[in-house]
């Protein structure tokens, strides 16, 4: 593979988490989002020669992902989709505008996780590890699902503040 081919594969590999995040935000269904990520990967591979090295890979890839999400939505009944058409358009346009933020978030998330108190880090690890679920955590802690859900929301919020701070520092 030539140098440009190597670079394309590197970008495709490195963008998997960001791309999945963009897809899940447009289509909050984890199983469908994973399928669409695979379909998007195939299209990106097919269209590799359309990509200009030096431009934003995630911005280009997320536009293609949006097309696949749209396609998926067309095949599904409205009652099986969380967002209606108008809201989906608003959200996906907003997301396309800030797709590069996702890459910045991804880069600093690990650092922000290290800054969390050990108990919170442990809770996040249990929630997002294979087989983890809020219900199981709630059972093991003797709390309600709603209470655990709110604790996790607050942790994600503090992670969001942290990654946003990193992103701002990076821009300065």
Partner 1 sequence: MKNSNSGSLRNLIARLSDGTLSPEEEDQLNQLLQADPIAQQQYLDHMLIDALLEREFGGALPHAAINGMAQITVPLGSPIASLKASGLRFLRTRAARWALTPVLAIILVAAGWLWREWNGAEIEQPQRLKLANSGFEEGQLIFKRRPSTAAWAGDIAEMIEHFSGVTPHEGSQMVRFVESVVGAEDACELYQIVELGDMAEIIASRPTSVEASAFFNAIEAEDHSAFDVTVFAFSADPAAHPDVWPTRRERALTFSGSQVRADSDTKSWQQVVARLNLPADTRYLVVRLSVFCNDSERSNSRFPGQFADNVTLNLVSL
Q: Given the complex with partner 1, which of 3 and 75 has the nearer CB atom?
A: 3
Cβ contacts of residue 71 below 8 Å, gap of 6+? none
The minimum distance between CB 132 and partner 1, in angstroms, equals 7
Which is nearer to partner 1, 37 or 64 (by Cβ)?
A: 37
Our finding on whether 28 is near partner 1 (CB under 8 A) is: yes
| Stretch 138-157 residues interacting with partner 1 (CB under 8 A) | 139-140, 142, 145, 149-150, 152-153, 156-157
Q: Which residues contact 89 (CB under 8 A, 6 or more apart)?
A: none
Report residue 78 as tokens: 């409205």
Binding flag, residue 123, partner 1 (CB under 8 A): no
Is residue 65 within 8 A of residue 22, CB to CB? The reply is yes
Q: Which is nearer to partner 1, 67 or 106 (CB)?
A: 106
Give the tokens for residue 164: 């946003």
Q: Which of 52, 128, 169, 172 binds partner 1 (CB under 8 A)?
A: 128
CB atoms under 10 Å from CB of 170, counted, come to 10
């Amino acid at each position: 593979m030539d140098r440009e081919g190597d670079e394309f594969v590197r970008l495709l590999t490195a963008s998997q988490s960001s791309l999945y995040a963009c897809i899940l935000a447009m289509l909050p269904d984890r199983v469908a989002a994973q399928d669409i990520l695979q379909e998007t990967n195939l299209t990106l591979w097919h269209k590799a020669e359309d990509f200009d090295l030096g431009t934003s890979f995630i911005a280009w890839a997320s536009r293609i992902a949006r097309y696949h999400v749209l396609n998926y939505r067309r095949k599904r009944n409205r009652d099986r989709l969380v967002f209606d058409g108008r809201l989906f358009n608003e959200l996906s346009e907003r997301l396309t505008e800030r797709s590069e933020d996702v890459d910045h978030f991804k880069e600093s998330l690990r650092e922000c996780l290290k800054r969390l108190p050990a108990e919170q880090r442990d809770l996040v690890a249990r929630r997002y590890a294979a087989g983890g679920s809020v219900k199981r955590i709630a059972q093991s802690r003797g709390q309600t699902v709603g209470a655990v859900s709110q604790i996790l929301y607050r942790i994600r919020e503090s992670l969001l503040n942290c990654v946003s701070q990193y992103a701002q520092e990076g821009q300065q």
